[in-house]
Structure 1
Amino acid sequence: MARIGVIGAGYVGLTTAACFARLGHTVVCADVDEAKVSALSRASVGAHEPRLAELVAEGLGTGRLRFVLGNRAALADVDFVFVCVPTPTGPDGAADLTFVDAVLDEARGTVGPDCVIVIKSTVPAGTTERVAAVIDRPVVSNPEFLREGHAVDDFLRPQRVVVGAPGPRGAAGREAAVRVAELYAGTGAPAIVTDSASAELVKYASNCFLAMKLSYVNSLAELCERVGADVSDVTEGMSLDDRIGGAFLSPGPGWGGSCFPKDTRALLSTAESLDVDFPLLRATIDTNHAQAHRVVGLVRDAVGPLRGARLALLGLTFKAGTDDLRDSPALATATLLAAEGAVLTGYDPCVSADCGPVRVLPSAEEAARDADALVILTEWPEFADLDWEDMASTMTGRSVVDTRNLLPPAKVTEAGFHLVPLGRPTP
């Protein structure tokens, strides 16, 4: 088994460290946040991620996992160093590599000559090649494919492991790339060993394609509304075609989170910097920006002028199963509603503090009290099981805009509500 250092105890780094420890490796995970390191050393995991806290506790208990403050302790006496630091969007839309470069500068004079530096952070194509040219150590790319809410399962049972080394087809560093791929042997996943630019592009290409499917189905849903079709039936018919499949064909208020907005902008920036016209990706981004405005239009059509209207928003995170509010389409919609003068209350199972213009309350029922309309923005399953007759008894209005097509139409309408779904005929 290997000795692994992980730099960064964020969402990706913590999952990587805990899961490698579960696979039997010895892992030291470093972060610059003293409070975070202290909490993790006590097995206190703040992130809402199924099984992650359990694996952290297990790793600490077996001694295969420990957390340290500062990077140097994770760079010494290890066989592999995984760089798992943020690559936020820069002012020009490109990925900001400040944190990655800082870690690599520190690693240059610290890691042993045979230690493999693994860039797991999402970086533009060519980054690993650039780093390898200035660091006299093996450097490979190993992009992550972790879905929030499913990160542990995605790591321990991945669909694929991608590793890339600099040079054509990874020729120069193929041995290092194969060593990294072997770290995942316990997962049973197929491994793709290639050149680093291809590996880096796999991550961007995957996320941007999925974002494109979501933008496509949101436009399709609007078309269904105009012609009287049901988008659920249309996508079911599409999904039975093996070439298409059913994943990411559910309409909604837009896509968000920590990856899709950042990665689509970064890939488009890379294409533009190389004079590659990518109108399909540009349209994917533009369509998503327009989706929040479309949702506001549906709410306005349902309740009339929004100034002074009391609206209850159910769901604030960017998707169900996570507490992540980054680039949440629910909050983008809330901002637009507030700009038109709406008074907003909200509820989300994983959010307790007020979010921008939304006053967060401890239950859906309290958020809906005296509301003129209710808007479903995140697909938390529990919203489908609400007592709609009880909701009707406390609300002022009778409009429900369901941007996730989550609610049972019969129950909602039988309680006296006017249900506005997305891409479906109004019941």
Structure 2
Amino acid sequence: MRVAVIGTGYVGLVTGACLAHLGHHVICVDNNPAKIEGLQRGRLPIYEPGLEDLVREGSASGLLQFTTDLRTGIQNSQVVFIAVGTPALPSGDPDLRYVEAVAREIGQQLDEQYRVIVNKSTVPIGSGDWVRMIILDGAAETAKQRLSSPEEGKVEVLSERDPDGELGGVVTQGLRPASASSESCWMPQFDVVSNPEFLREGSAIHDTFNPDRIVVGSESPRAIQIMRELYEPILSRQKGLSGDPVPWVVTDLASAEMIKYAANAFLATKISFINEIANICERTGADVTQVADGIGLDKRIGRAFLNAGLGWGGSCFPKDVAALIQTAADYGYEARLLRATVEVNQQQRQRLVEKLQQALKVLKGKTIGLLGLTFKPNTDDMRDAPSLSLIEHLHKLGAKVKAYDPIVSGSGIREGLAHVVVETDVLRLAQDCDALVLVTEWQEFQSLDYSHLAGLMRRPLLIDARNCLDRQALRQAGMTVLGIGW
């Protein structure tokens, strides 16, 4: 199948590379010439385990191509994925400028061929009909240009309103040469589909090929069938994939859009819940890790995402929860539980600073070393990382902050790190520190020689802010150990 993926950010690049691996012909489009040139040369703009190999494989086979020419992508595709960013605005609303610009240009490039336009970007509920409207506006703009171009001949713009109101009153428009018969008139033939992604950074390749479910929102049997054919290798475990068949979930557009937001909001709430329990555990003498194990055995609850620590960050949870809160407000509902979820998450980072203050008293003049900077392991993503909040808080309190991260330290990434010394190895990090804080649970940190690190520190204090290290082993190594919720 011929596919275009517009946007080569995290979701777009992973989607394009994985679809090419399944045997589809994929053209990835981006308006950043430097990024496209880098991808054509095999240089990736992001770090994701296994992605470089997939891009190299797809490029070598000719199934994966990169271009800045959107027209080429559209006109050589049956399925067009919109996978551009939707960052949060100060209000909490997602910024849809990039989605709007792409949708309009798609409309300008449509021809007689039927296409499925897929919203892969996370967009507010109701955006499917809005994207359809923007695409039709783009098609109408092209019609006007043809009208004013003598060499193209006169063109008549046809309009009709959906009689059943299923498009929310959207006016659909088509084009017809003025001299043609009614049989020769045409309208842009497309359907808009919602196909939310549920990728976890650090395991996105695995999640693409082994999803918990594939959700497609559409009321068009034709579009649903094409999407089914696109994902058939995953659904029926072809191309060397093993395991049980993957659930195929078909919904209406709005429900598919809500599924994405609701899933991330629930997971964020689950993390904030266990952090709330952790804070109570610290005051009552209970151990949150044991509590999480105990309640996680309840099949109605489950153990996943019940890990107390510094809370959630990254590119998805913060903006998706904020967008859902704002959507509720737009429709006259106050999402109190979600607001509390955000508040608990924000406070959790401050509680780590308070823990340092309790152990070291005055932080001014102290040196704090951070083990990890990214918001989670196996990624280079620093968006809304808890480490950034810690750095800012500690800097304001007069502490010197150092950090080491397996990816960031060697990558040259320094955005948001003006107030931290980024060290190139763990030994340099530990030198003369008054405390180490494990911020990101990289596997590398499990096997460090903590006895050696303790000897390099001014005082051997370690705060395991992810509850992922062996407490007893750390104490035997000479460390004073503090955690979250115990």
Instruction: Report TM bin, short chain.
Output: over 0.9
- Match 1:282 to one of 322, 334, 339: 339
- Match 1:227 to one of 271, 278, 284: 284
Task: Please say if 1:414 is aligned against 2:414.
Answer: no
Q: Which residue of 1 aligns with 2:408?
A: 351
Residues 21-420 of structure 1: pairs in structure 2 closer than 5 A: 21-113=20-112, 114-134=114-134, 135=136, 136=188, 137-165=190-218, 170=219, 173-188=220-235, 189-352=246-409, 353=412, 354=414, 355-420=417-482
Between the aligned partners of 1:178 and 1:129, the Cα distance in structure 2 is 20
| Residues 178 and 193 in structure 1, CA contact (< 8 A), matched pair in contact too | no
- Aligned to 1:186, the other structure's residue is in SS state helix
Unaligned runs of 5+ in 1: none
Between the aligned partners of 1:366 and 1:121, the Cα distance in structure 2 is 41
| Residues 77 and 112 in structure 1, CA contact (< 8 A), matched pair in contact too | no
Residue 85 of structure 1: how far off its partner (Å): 0.1
Q: What are the superposed Cα offsets for residues 38-92 of structure 1, whole Å, 9 maximum, x if unpaired?
A: 1111222242211111111111111111000132221113101100000011121
Between the aligned partners of 1:175 and 1:409, the Cα distance in structure 2 is 57
Bigger Cα displacement from structure 2, 352-361 vs 243-252: 352-361
Between the aligned partners of 1:231 and 1:47, the Cα distance in structure 2 is 35
Between the aligned partners of 1:267 and 1:44, the Cα distance in structure 2 is 35
Between the aligned partners of 1:34 and 1:154, the Cα distance in structure 2 is 29
Residue 402 of structure 1: how far off its partner (Å): 0.9
Between the aligned partners of 1:302 and 1:194, the Cα distance in structure 2 is 53
**Count of aligned pairs between the two proteins:** 417
| Residues 215 and 256 in structure 2, CA contact (< 8 A), matched pair in contact too | yes
Letter in 2 for 1:44: R
- Aligned to 1:38, the other structure's residue is in SS state helix
Letter in 1 for 2:462: V
- Aligned to 1:223, the other structure's residue is in SS state helix
- Aligned to 1:311, the other structure's residue is in SS state strand
Between the aligned partners of 1:44 and 1:163, the Cα distance in structure 2 is 32
Bigger Cα displacement from structure 2, 383-392 vs 224-233: 383-392
Q: Which residue of 1 aligns with 2:139?
A: none
- Percent identical pairs in the alignment equals 45
Q: Which residue of 1 aligns with 2:150?
A: none
Residue 411 of structure 1: how far off its partner (Å): 2.2
- Aligned to 2:217, the other structure's residue is in SS state strand
Residues 5-16 of structure 1: pairs in structure 2 closer than 5 A: 5-16=4-15
Residue 221 of structure 1: how far off its partner (Å): 0.7
Between the aligned partners of 2:315 and 2:469, the Cα distance in structure 1 is 27
- Structure label with greater radius of gyration: 2
Between the aligned partners of 2:446 and 2:15, the Cα distance in structure 1 is 34
Residue 281 of structure 1: how far off its partner (Å): 0.4
- Aligned to 2:212, the other structure's residue is in SS state coil
Residue 384 of structure 1: how far off its partner (Å): 2.2
| Residues 309 and 466 in structure 2, CA contact (< 8 A), matched pair in contact too | yes
Between the aligned partners of 1:336 and 1:11, the Cα distance in structure 2 is 29
Between the aligned partners of 2:76 and 2:386, the Cα distance in structure 1 is 44
- Aligned to 1:205, the other structure's residue is in SS state helix
Between the aligned partners of 1:181 and 1:100, the Cα distance in structure 2 is 24
Q: What are the superposed Cα offsets for residues 109-146 of structure 1, whole Å, 9 maximum, x if unpaired?
A: 21334011111000000000222245343111111111
Between the aligned partners of 1:205 and 1:117, the Cα distance in structure 2 is 23
Residue 415 of structure 1: how far off its partner (Å): 2.6
Letter in 2 for 1:265: A
Between the aligned partners of 1:73 and 1:343, the Cα distance in structure 2 is 52
Between the aligned partners of 1:174 and 1:24, the Cα distance in structure 2 is 24
Q: Which residue of 1 aligns with 2:18?
A: 19
Between the aligned partners of 2:306 and 2:441, the Cα distance in structure 1 is 14
Letter in 2 for 1:178: Q
| Residues 400 and 420 in structure 1, CA contact (< 8 A), matched pair in contact too | yes
